[in-house]
Amino acid sequence: MAVLATKLHVPKPRPGLVARPRLRDRLDAPDVEAARLILVSAPAGSGKTTLLSQWFASRDATPRGSVAWVSVDGDDNDVRRFLAHVIAALRTTGADVGGDARAAMEAGGAAPVPFLLTSLVNDLDTVADPLVLVLDDYHEITAPEVHESLRFLLEHLPGRMRIAMTTRSDPPLPLARMRSTGAMVELRAADLRFTPDEAESLLNGVMGLGVSREHVDALGGRTEGWAAGLQLAALSIRGRADVGRFVDEFAGSHRFVLDYLIEEVLDRQPADVREFLLRTSVLGAMNASLCEAVTGRDDAREVLRALERDNVFVVALDDRREWWRYHHLFADTLRSRLRDADPGGTADLHRAAARWHAVRGALPEAIAHSAAAGDGERTADLVELALPGLRAHRRDDDIRRHVRALPDELVRARPLLAVFMAWSRLAEGDLDGVEAWLAETERRLAHPEDVDADLRTPLEAECAARDREIRQVPAMVAVYRACVAQARGDVPGTVAHARRALGLAGPDDHFPRGAAAGFLGLAAWASGDLPSAVDVFGEAVASLRAAGGIADALGATVVLADMWSGLGRPDESRRILERALHEAEGHPVPLSTTGDLHVALADVLREHGELTAAVAHMDAARDLGDAASLPENRHRLHLADAGILRARGDLGGALAAVDRAEAAYQPGFFPDRRPVPAVRARLRIAAGDLAAAEAWARTADIEVTDPPAHPAEFAQLTLARVRLAAYRAGAGSALNGVADMLDGIAAAAGAAGRTGSVIEARLLRALVLAAAGDDRAARETLAGALTAAVPAGHRRLFLDEGAPMEELLRRLVSAHHDEAAVARARRLLAAETPGDASSSTSGEGLSERELEVLRALATDLTGPQIAGRLYVSVNTLRTHSRHIFAKLGVNTRRAAVRRAAERGLL
Amino acid sequence: MTDPDVVYAIRVRGHLDAHRGAWLGDLVVTHNGDGTSTLVGPIADQAELHGLLARLRDLGIPLIACAPARGN
């Protein structure tokens, strides 16, 4: 996220300020040390910022810690932007804080705010020196999320840190409570008002104007001690012979202080300087070059320096005195007068400012000035040029804001903007609204507007990125149509649009290629062609990765792993999941799919029989919570739970987990490999509740005579188990037709490459033969099933069949002639793989060292003090803390201590 | 909620220049004998009203009263 250095500049008090010891003493009082918040709440022009800058300058003599300064503006209503500037400001003090949060924000996407806040607070705990964070002009904030973040920071700040805030209106904090508990000290309008003595020292001491006490009191009364008013009055008096007359006239007038005095000050400037002030008032931050562009002068630097020297309300934004702005009271009045004097003249000024910013690549400023100039086409050009960069940083809200500010007909006329609107509708779930914008996009595609030639040279890279996006538009239109078709359950439509997208996309158009391949892969899966599905979907994952969408690529791996399991290859599922998880964990912040990867891997490990490792991954997924899981994947967690519980013999627990899976299931995203009702029927059989299982079979309306069909395969294989159980319970005719059904499934699945179903059909066929007493044929059939299954890592698929399967496996071991088959059967019969025990986490899983750190965290010691006692670096301490937090399932020091106390670890 | 375009009268301390009214919106500035000004103009909704009050605040203009104008 782009951080503006000028927003972090700690203003130095300018020369010629009145010392206000009574206010400084108030800020140096002992109760301020105990407070979390220093609130300076008073009207504009009261001298709030000046007061803080004077206070910090006075502290420099006696070092009392560092100052981090943020000049808050309206854009900080984006909470991530706000936090990015807070972190950047804190880092200007040399404190190594917010590194993880910053990395998370730079990784793109909407980093979860709770993660940003907790990691920042944890980092602040390691800062030894006192620190004041200044939020200047906090009244600019209206967004509730930013207020929430502020509340969190105030609650969790380490004791050595305080927040000082200047604002024109009180922030939405529990001020009365904070006041009464001493958590806040405040300075308000009455405190900041100049006393007669302070007015005297401004007018006569600092400005040396020689004003009589009577006139000083008259000015103080007329301005009500308002700092801006007194300052302007002083400027008006300077060099005037008839001070008395000025004061009398001013005091006798009812005119608003600012209007009266700014006119006085302007009238006293030379005509060319007055012109300079009025023309440059349209600018926000300005430097000499920009001022020259809008005024046509060539000596702006000298003018700006002279204005500063004469105290004419310019504020330096950096120490090198390159960037300036007008005091906002002054700027607003100038703009008002400028418009009054020449209502149409401001457009040219804005146009010049827009051009100056555009050729320097400052597109947001260029867009704002261009829009203010009323230049629609030029503004639309600039928005198109800004779009690729904003999208790469996932600043979708910024794009939306820019596009919505444009006149509707301009958006319609531009394919790049119209297709963005289509995407925007799609993201809002407005499927009907998408097509209108796509049609508009296509209608205009033949004649895309060209960017003005004067922007092409200075903005070469932006133009190239924009042209590339325009080339991709036809493919993206087809992708969005596939998306709508899929959301509506229209498989042929999805395939047709996805094919068209692939045909239209160039070899390097990774995003449309990846998205289209993803749709085709899912469609192939839905039709039962798993080998093609794996191929195409694998390409989709690779393209998404090439397009830079790591979270998308890793999330798609969950689906790809599902496909590999259908192919009878849990070993391959495990390999790609472990690789993806390794990559996801290398990310500074949990991705939106990290939890889903843990769950998918847990399910594969369960199939391998590595139950302890599976449980550890389930715990990891639970700790990450919903933020690390896509809504369409949430049911997988409960299905994996059910599998693990079943393997452990807890069938009641497994059934409850299946109920939870059913509640969380979102249909329509992926083919349903294991429909929940059939999973439940299998558990009922295992629990001996044959009646319930038979009831499922009647409801599901499937018969052994149904032809094998891919979507129903799982249910048909479930039906075979129902019949087996019925036969074992004494229903002699229950197995009629079952052998044929299983042979049919094995043949059909074998022909389509669905090896997973082939294995399952064969193992059930073996059980049917065994139940019928044909022991030899049963062993032969089982041996055949084991050939592919065991090397691929299948285990629970067999063992979940319980005693009949174990018996058959034992008979195979004792009586079979094929050494390889015997070895495979032995592997299934062996206890949990020995490697499994080592990966267990016993108890809380905290090491001795971590327990030692945990006990230190429970004290009042600061991070650096703890590090010192334990003879480790602060960084090592931070690593220990992070591990402890992860193991306790918390994310702050305070929560860790509480959790540890609850569990008796201290 | 406010009905569309209710006319508001906003009283502030000091006599404001007429250009302030135009700059703040389509407001007519009247100077009162007690040293206050009244800004009168149509306000579309609550959001516009709050925006206007914030701009007065940002100019350091002391607010005295704000009410729908009589005769609405």
Tell me the pLDDT tens digit for each residue of A663-680.
Answer: 988 776 777 788 999 999
A-proximal residues of B, 6-65, CB under 8 Å: 12-20, 22-23, 31, 35, 37, 57-62
At B71, the pLDDT band (50, 70, 90 cuts) reads low
Mean pLDDT on A473-488: 91
C-beta atoms of B60 and A329 within 8 A: yes
Residue of A nearest to B15 (CA): A255
Residues A522 and A806: their CA atoms lie apart, in Å, by 37
Residues of A in contact with B12 (CB under 8 A): 256
What pLDDT score was predicted for residue A634? 87
* Beta partners for residue B31, in sequence order: B37
At A173, the pLDDT band (50, 70, 90 cuts) reads very high
Strands across the sheet containing B6-13: B28-31, B36-43, B6-13, B63-68
C-beta atoms of A253 and B61 within 8 A: no
Residues of B in contact with A339 (CB under 8 A): 19, 22-23
Which of A255, A333, A335 lies nearest to residue B14, judging by beta carbons?
Answer: A255
List phi, psi (to 5°) of A185.
Answer: -115, 150
What pLDDT score was predicted for residue A881? 84
- Enter the DSSP assignment of A842: -
Number of other residues whose CB lies within 10 A of the CB of residue A119: 26
Q: Is A262 on the interface with B (CB under 8 A)?
A: no
Full DSSP string of A529-563 = -HHHHHHHHHHHHHHHHHTT-HHHHHHHHHHHHHH
Distance of residue B18 Cα from the nearest chain A Cα, in angstroms = 9
Which of B15, B23, B37 lies nearest to residue A336, judging by beta carbons?
Answer: B23
What pLDDT score was predicted for residue A837? 35
Distance of residue B71 Cα from the nearest chain A Cα, in angstroms = 28
C-beta atoms of A332 and B62 within 8 A: no
What pLDDT score was predicted for residue A689? 94
Residues A284 and A711: their CA atoms lie apart, in Å, by 63
* Beta partners for residue A135, in sequence order: A70, A165
Residue A555: alpha-carbon gap to chain centroid? 16
Which of A43, A228, A257 lies nearest to residue B14, judging by beta carbons?
Answer: A257
C-beta atoms of A44 and B23 within 8 A: no
Work out the percent of chain A whose per-residue pLDDT is above 70.
Answer: 97
List phi, psi (to 5°) of A134.
Answer: -100, 130
Residues A530 and A656: their CA atoms lie apart, in Å, by 31
What pLDDT digit, counting tens, does each position of A135-156 carry? 999 999 999 999 999 999 999 9
Residues A218 and A241: their CA atoms lie apart, in Å, by 18
At A688, the pLDDT band (50, 70, 90 cuts) reads very high
Cα→Cα distances A870→A855, A877, A897, Å = 11, 9, 18
If 0-12 CB within 10 Å is exposed, 13-18 middle and 19+ buried, where does residue A705 land?
Answer: exposed
What pLDDT score was predicted for residue B2? 44
What pLDDT score was predicted for residue A635? 92
At A844, the pLDDT band (50, 70, 90 cuts) reads low
Number of inter-chain CB pairs under 8 A, A vs B = 62
What pLDDT score was predicted for residue A866? 85
At A732, the pLDDT band (50, 70, 90 cuts) reads confident
What pLDDT score was predicted for residue A841? 38
What pLDDT score was predicted for residue A108? 59
What pLDDT score was predicted for residue B1? 46
A219 pLDDT exceeds 50? Answer: yes
Distance of residue A97 Cα from the nearest chain B Cα, in angstroms = 34
Enter the pTM of the model.
0.72
A110 pLDDT exceeds 70? Answer: no
Residues of B in contact with A258 (CB under 8 A): 59-61
Least confident range from A38-42, A159-163, A369-373: namely A159-163
What pLDDT score was predicted for residue A561? 95
Q: Which two tokens stand for residue A782?
A: 């089982």
Mean pLDDT on A263-275: 91
What pLDDT score was predicted for residue A840? 34
What pLDDT score was predicted for residue A170? 95
Residues of A in contact with B15 (CB under 8 A): 253-256, 259
Which of A46, A255, A328 lies nearest to residue B15, judging by beta carbons?
Answer: A255
C-beta atoms of A255 and B61 within 8 A: no
A90 pLDDT exceeds 70? Answer: yes
Asked whether the CA dihedral A509, A515, A518, A524 is positive or negative, the reply is negative
Q: Are A417 and A380 in contact (CB under 8 A)?
A: yes
Strands across the sheet containing A161-167: A66-71, A131-136, A161-167, A37-41, A184-188
Residues A326 and A313: their CA atoms lie apart, in Å, by 6
Asked whether the CA dihedral A122, A127, A129, A134 is positive or negative, the reply is negative
Mean pLDDT on B36-45: 94
* Beta partners for residue A186, in sequence order: A39
Residue of A nearest to B61 (CA): A256
What pLDDT digit, counting tens, does each position of A1-28 carry? 678 888 999 988 887 789 899 999 999 8
Q: How many CA atoms lie within 13 A of B28 on its CB side?
A: 8
A438 pLDDT exceeds 90? Answer: yes
C-beta atoms of A228 and B31 within 8 A: no
What pLDDT score was predicted for residue B4? 61
Residues of A in contact with B20 (CB under 8 A): 256, 259, 336
What pLDDT score was predicted for residue A168? 95
C-beta atoms of B60 and A43 within 8 A: yes
A675 contact partners, CB below 8 Å, separation of at least 6: A714, A715
Average pLDDT of chain A, as a whole number: 89
List phi, psi (to 5°) of A420.
Answer: -65, -40
Residues of B in contact with A254 (CB under 8 A): 14-15, 31, 35
What pLDDT digit, counting tens, does each position of A545-557 carry? 888 777 788 888 9
What pLDDT digit, counting tens, does each position of A749-796 carry? 999 999 999 999 999 999 999 999 999 999 999 999 999 999 999 999
Q: Is B70 on the interface with A (CB under 8 A)?
A: no
